[in-house]
Structure 1
Amino acid sequence: MPADDLALLEPHMRRCELPLRMMLATPGIPIEAVYFIEQGIGSVVASTASGHEAEVGFIGFEGMTGSSLVMGDDRAPHACYVQLEGDAIRIEAGAFNAALAASATLRMFLLRFVNALQTQAGCTALVNARLKLEERLARWLLMCDDRVPGEHLAITHEFLAIMLGVRRPGVTVALQLLEGRALIRARRGEIVIRDRAGLIELANGSYGEPEAEYVRLIGEISAA
């Protein structure tokens, strides 16, 4: 971010913790604040009136919540909540909007992130429709690995089922398949990445395009 634009935001930055399942945005309700995640992961989750849920967006330290504000709206179309706990920089929506109004370059910079996030969402829709569960799971774990330092991911089967839009028994079978190939080690509430290159191969081309688009628009994304 350009230094002048960062200076507009700095007086309004407040560091906060992100406990598991904390709501960062609620659909249909005006956005109260944006969160620039420093550690942890936020999931953008779409839902139906009947209660079905699936992840449509994935945000870590490379991004922010509340991107609707960048596009001129005051409400998020989907819920966003903390999937892996961590911390973030919080800026009240009013102060954030004032900064956007004061700087065209700030909005243009953040629109690059919105573009990258939309590319990611489009890829997610494609792989959910066309790929096998184990291939989708491999992609999801790679995206986590990009954003979480180390090889240990604190995630439950139940949460994975929501993120992938499948039933919990299906997640269990897919994890067993990946573990049988020595790609991961699955424990209760934790997954350990053992073979990243093998996960990329299993992802069957579903991982890489959104990541390359982010690099083109903004820069590298890696927590390693």
Structure 2
Amino acid sequence: MIRVVVYLSGKAECQLLETQLRQLLSRRSNEELDCRFYADPAAARAALLTERADAICWDVTDPAGLAYLAAVRTAGREAFLLVMAAATTSPLVYLKPELAPDSLILRPVTAEECRRAAGEIFDRLLAAQHEGADCFVVKSRDERIRVPYRKILYFEARERRLCLRMAGEELTFTGTLEKLLETLPPEFRRVHRSFVVNADNIQRVVLSQNLVYLRGDVAVPLSRSYKKEVREYDA
């Protein structure tokens, strides 16, 4: 599901944009489109702060609406941002670091311009999905970090957060190991109530010491109840 949130006051512009989004996506992917339109910037902001969007289209000719857009971008920068402006709108209004738009449509809005913008949106989103197939994505307020699964040594539950450990680097994010395991490929195995390891990076398992040694001689604890998960690596 690709979710797009649109703040525009013109019904005809909304229909034109939605038509091009749906037509283009149907030709390029089997994904479904959830396109939500708002004539009130406060309602659009509330929707975006409640639920994630993959792309945002925002009318920047409304000064009041700009303040709401700034709040949305402060809360999360990962969505593709398409701004719609008049030919007379100064670029200084929307070309700001705190907004960082990805694309622009100038009025009068045409089907060709909507089709171009839709292509840019789906180029980004569909490419990210393909890239993410072999990566784990760590999400923060300001960015998404893609980590190839092969580089991950283990995940650790630590102080109500999760830690992703690579060779010489750690990334932390919110979540639980139970939910995490539902999304990981099968090479990731739980070896302790606080640890999930990448079995492809196991060097050896020493059952007598209750330890799993990963690439780089990184050791993690092994619980008795999880020994069967890694017994074939026993040194």
User: Does TM, scored on the shorter chain, surpass 0.5?
Assistant: no
Q: Normalising TM by the smaller chain, what interval?
A: under 0.3
Structure number with higher strand proportion? 2
Larger radius of gyration: 2
Structure number with higher helix proportion? 1
Identify which of structures 1 and 2 has the higher relative contact order when contacts are C-alpha pairs closer than 8 Å and 6+ apart: 1
Q: Provide the TM-score with structure 1 as the length reference.
A: 0.27
Q: Provide the TM-score with structure 2 as the length reference.
A: 0.26
